């Protein structure tokens, strides 16, 4: 069963700052991944998975915010 980065942080009592430090990624990028606002690249996935000592396939990487379609007339 795959878990999100957020779930893994809660389970392992890890902060975003600690993950950023251990993975070598920018804190802002890790925060976006943690919140489900950014889908990381393959190398970012590997670096975050290594912090938790699991495979990147064991983490769910999708967006948490649903994509919404906006309807309207457009510019007039």
Helix%, strand%, coil% for the chain, nearest 5 = 50, 5, 45
Mean pLDDT of the chain: 88
Q: Are 58 and 49 in contact (CB under 8 A)?
A: yes
Q: pLDDT per residue over 32-49, tens digit each? A: 999 988 999 999 999 999
Q: pTM score, two decimals?
A: 0.79
Q: Does 75 fall in a domain?
A: no
| Residue 5 host element (H or E) | helix 5-12
Q: Are 6 and 60 in contact (CB under 8 A)?
A: no
Number of structural domains, the chain?
Answer: 1
Q: How far apart are CA 3 and CA 15, in angstroms?
A: 16
Q: Does 65 fall in a domain?
A: no
- Which CATH number fits the domain that encloses residue 35? 1.10.260.40
């Amino acid at each position: 069963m795959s878990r999100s980065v957020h779930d893994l942080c809660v389970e392992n009592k890890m902060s975003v700052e600690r993950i950023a430090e251990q993975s070598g990624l920018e804190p802002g990028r890790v925060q976006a991944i943690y919140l489900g606002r950014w889908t990381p690249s393959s190398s970012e996935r590997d670096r975050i998975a290594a912090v938790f000592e699991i495979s990147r396939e064991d983490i769910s990487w999708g967006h948490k915010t649903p994509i919404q379609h906006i309807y309207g007339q457009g510019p007039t």
